Amino acid sequence: MNKLFLFLMVFTCGSAFTQSEQKFKVTLDAGHGAHDFGAVYHGHIEKNIALAVVLKVGKILEKNPNIDVIYTRKTDVFIDLVERANIANRAESNVFVSIHCNASKNNSAEGSETYVMGLNKNASNLEVAKKENSVVTLEKDYKQKYEGFDPNSPESMIGVTLIQEEYLENSIALAGKVQENFTNYIGQKDRGVKQAPFMVLHKAFMPRVLIEMGFISNLSEGGRLDSEEGQQEVAQSIADAIVIYKREFFGEGSNEPAIEKPTPRKIEKLIEIPVKTELLIIDPPKEIVDAKGVIFKVQLSVSSKNLDLIPSNFKGLNTITSLYENKLYKYMYGETANYETAKKLLQEAKNKGYVTAFLIAFKDGKIINIKDAIK
């Protein structure tokens, strides 16, 4: 009996250790492929550039022992949009990153922009979504597969976005880090973080972004994106943004390599400020009443619905609190001043099915960076 008890204790401890050391999973999606060339300008082919950059991003991330990389494609093949999302869903990835090149009839258009899933009515945003969503017409039986979705009318997705709201804030955070790196370390024009109804993002149930790395219709920018040096710079910037996001929301693992940021470029021309109406603005964090010092909580989800804070609404978890911000409700589990205890609470939430849950920290009632809280 004692030997059996000892074996069960060792097995249980070993299982708990394995769960606590679970790797951060990143699904990388290279846009287009095979007969779907994407945009083609001045000899630059979007599908080839997207794949080359994805493989470089993956190679950088794979050096991190705390990250697992999943690819939707590693060769020149065609993958249905819904299958790209399903690959990420089956892997239970923590983030989904779809990589593309932009193009415009205006050959002077330049800069990068990163999209999150949404129904912004801005005409230029919808035009980008329309272009990327048109890929579905190359798929067999796409009308039945996508339940009548019209790629020429992205607004037709209006009935399917409520389930996505819990991932919006994290998607914006990741997109912001991508744009910041592009601007600071490559010297690209910042076209902002935007919302648009992309089918490839719609079906991925996790924080997810679609990156338009730059315009291959622009002679200068297209040439850089189609060069080994330019692709390496872009890949490093994207990989660094993913690692920074991971560390902020999921913590820093053991033996994690330092981030090697590219040397900032000197920019001869002025960088235009992105149009405010196209940016997603998150309201400043509101104060939590009666909170003192540094405390950790587990953020479970974000929703427009005001739910009763009872276990039956949160898969049996109790000690639920909420915070209303930017017309959305953040739902959080537990409360502790001890980081190790907080990690255990996070694992409890994940075991209950909240696979995208993450730690959030407060000091004197205000949200602070998780790394600062740990220090």
Lowest average pLDDT, out of 58-62, 72-76, 310-314, goes to 310-314
The CATH 3.30.70.1070 domain(s) of the chain lie at 294-374
Q: How many residues are listed for the chain in this entry?
A: 375
Q: For 16-39, how does the pLDDT look when each residue is reduced to its tens digit (9 = 90+)?
A: 333 345 899 999 999 999 998 999
**Measured in Å, how far apart are the chain's first and last C-alpha atoms?**
44
The CATH 3.40.630.40 domain(s) of the chain lie at 23-265+274-278
The reported pLDDT for the residue numbered 358 is 83
Q: For 287-303, how does the pLDDT look when each residue is reduced to its tens digit (9 = 90+)?
A: 333 445 788 999 888 77
* Overall fold of domain 294-374: Alpha-Beta Plaits (3.30.70)
Only one residue has tokens 């272009």, namely: 131
The reported pLDDT for the residue numbered 155 is 52
* Cα(351)–Cα(341) distance, integer angstroms: 15
In three-state secondary structure terms, 8 is helix
Angle at 264 between CA 260 and CA 266, to 5 degrees: 165
Q: For 342-365, how does the pLDDT look when each residue is reduced to its tens digit (9 = 90+)?
A: 888 988 888 887 777 788 888 877
Q: Tokens standing for 337? A: 């001043």
pTM above 0.75, yes or no: no
Q: For 105-142, how does the pLDDT look when each residue is reduced to its tens digit (9 = 90+)?
A: 999 999 999 998 876 544 444 454 445 554 444 445 54
Class of the CATH domain delimited by 23-265+274-278? alpha beta
* Cα(66)–Cα(319) distance, integer angstroms: 30
* Cα(45)–Cα(103) distance, integer angstroms: 11
More confident residue, 170 or 165: 170
For residue 94, CA distances in Å to 42, 53, 163, 246, 272 come to 36, 20, 17, 9, 33
Assess contact for 216 and 102: CB atoms under 8 A.
yes
